Amino acid sequence: MATKRDYYDILGVSKTATADELKKAYRKLALEWHPDRNKAANAHDKFKEINEAYAVLSDKSKRETYDQFGHAAFSPGSGMGAGAGQGPFGGFRQQGPFTYSYSSSGGNPFGNDFIDPFEIFEQFFGGGFGGASRGRGRAHPAYEITIDFMDGGFGGASRGRGRAHPAYEITIDFMDAVHGVTKEVMIPRGGAGEGSVRKTIKIPAGVDTGSRIRFDDFDIVIEVKSNKLFQREGDDVVVTHEIPFVRAVIGGIEEVETIDKPVKIRIPAGTQPGTLIRLRGQGVPHVRGGGRGDAYVKIQMKIPTHLTHEQRELLEKFDKTMQH
């Protein structure tokens, strides 16, 4: 059996390389040895080798295990690393430039079912990665969504030629997650080089980060972007709203934003900073139907930084009345 090369040597970095140095080396080598770019006979094997090395070294715990035990830690049945009887990447989701995972039951995790993440990226957005079509402000032919390949990382049943049920991660806007959205995406047909097929997918209202939607032959895993105005807590939504300090003292009506439309609310006299005003049923729809969460308006005080002479006099008079 051929001796496996040292992972650090594969990436051309030292054993003290930082995470950024690892990522930089990985990206450079992955582009250099990408099979669609490099027509050398060994390009495919080199590309798999580079991905395998980076998958271990970019993960802190796996890197520590590798530094201590070497390749033996990830051998099937070794009882170390990923666990006895499990391949080194079972259920592992790599947070690299392209996210993907493998669920293997032993043997080489980059075997016949390996799918090139660069190819997936190109199939979704068109053109060569890093090619001339990028950087000129031209819109991608597909929607502006982040899609990563994860092969069997969610326990799907095997399909077709022994291939695990694939899942694709989509990053969508906050409001699309709240209200639901229909997306048109390109899904690989099953293997590298087999082309892709256009699919229209409907994402229901109320999904959140980590939500998984099962379609006929693939899963969609949702990642939701944060929103500057709204903070989500389950199916409840919190919006921060500033009011003048006079309004807080004497009360009044304020218009606030909700995920549907602006609404007017009554501010009780004597409202304190940090007060939460509940708007029942104006939160996120329950993804399985049957109602909605609540919206909460968190009150903050708007303190003036500049006062006219008259305003200062009035406040000073007010202050004197509060001292008696």
The answer to whether 22 and 58 have CB atoms below 8 angstroms apart is yes
In a domain, 257, yes or no: yes
On whether both 221 and 235 belong to a single domain, the answer is no
CA–CA separation, 142 vs 106, rounded Å?
Answer: 36
Last residue of a domain, one of 226, 243, 272: 226
Number of domains in the chain: 2
The answer to whether 23 and 58 have CB atoms below 8 angstroms apart is yes
Helix (H) or strand (E) holding 10: helix 7-11
On whether both 172 and 255 belong to a single domain, the answer is no
CA–CA separation, 22 vs 88, rounded Å?
Answer: 19
211-240 mean pLDDT = 89
CA–CA separation, 266 vs 307, rounded Å?
Answer: 27
The region of weakest confidence among 54-58, 187-191, 313-317 is: 187-191
190 versus 163: the higher-pLDDT residue is: 190
**Is the pLDDT score of 280 beyond 60?**
yes
Please report, as a single letter, which amino acid is at residue 48: K
**Structural domain containing residue 222:** 115-226
On whether both 164 and 219 belong to a single domain, the answer is yes
Please report, for the domain that includes residue 277, its CATH number: 2.60.260.20
Using DSSP's 3-state secondary structure scheme, residue 5 falls into coil
On whether both 218 and 260 belong to a single domain, the answer is no
On whether both 268 and 201 belong to a single domain, the answer is no
| Confidence (pLDDT) at 216 | 74
In a domain, 279, yes or no: yes
Per-position DSSP letters for 212-234, written without gaps between them: EEE-SS-EEEEEE---SSEEEET
CA–CA separation, 27 vs 39, rounded Å?
Answer: 18
In a domain, 86, yes or no: no
In a domain, 28, yes or no: no
Burial class (CB in 10 A: 0-12, 13-18, 19+), 261: exposed
In a domain, 234, yes or no: yes
On whether both 189 and 235 belong to a single domain, the answer is no
On whether both 219 and 235 belong to a single domain, the answer is no
Last residue of a domain, one of 179, 206, 226: 226
In a domain, 74, yes or no: no
CA–CA separation, 312 vs 94, rounded Å?
Answer: 60
162-183 mean pLDDT = 82
On whether both 247 and 194 belong to a single domain, the answer is no
Record the pTM. 0.51
On whether both 127 and 221 belong to a single domain, the answer is yes
Each residue of 86-120: pLDDT tens digit? 333 333 333 333 333 333 333 333 333 333 343 43
Using DSSP's 3-state secondary structure scheme, residue 23 falls into helix
CA–CA separation, 300 vs 285, rounded Å?
Answer: 27
The answer to whether 212 and 170 have CB atoms below 8 angstroms apart is no
On whether both 209 and 237 belong to a single domain, the answer is no
What angle, 0 to 180 degrees and rounded to 10, lies between the N-to-C axes of helices 43-57 and 60-69?
A: 100
| Torsion 227-232-237-239 (CA) sign | negative
Quick one: pLDDT band at residue 324, thresholds 50, 70, 90?
A: low
Last residue of a domain, one of 209, 226, 243: 226
In a domain, 202, yes or no: yes
On whether both 120 and 217 belong to a single domain, the answer is yes
In a domain, 278, yes or no: yes
Could you tell me how many residues make up the chain? Answer: 324
71-84 mean pLDDT = 53
On whether both 219 and 283 belong to a single domain, the answer is no
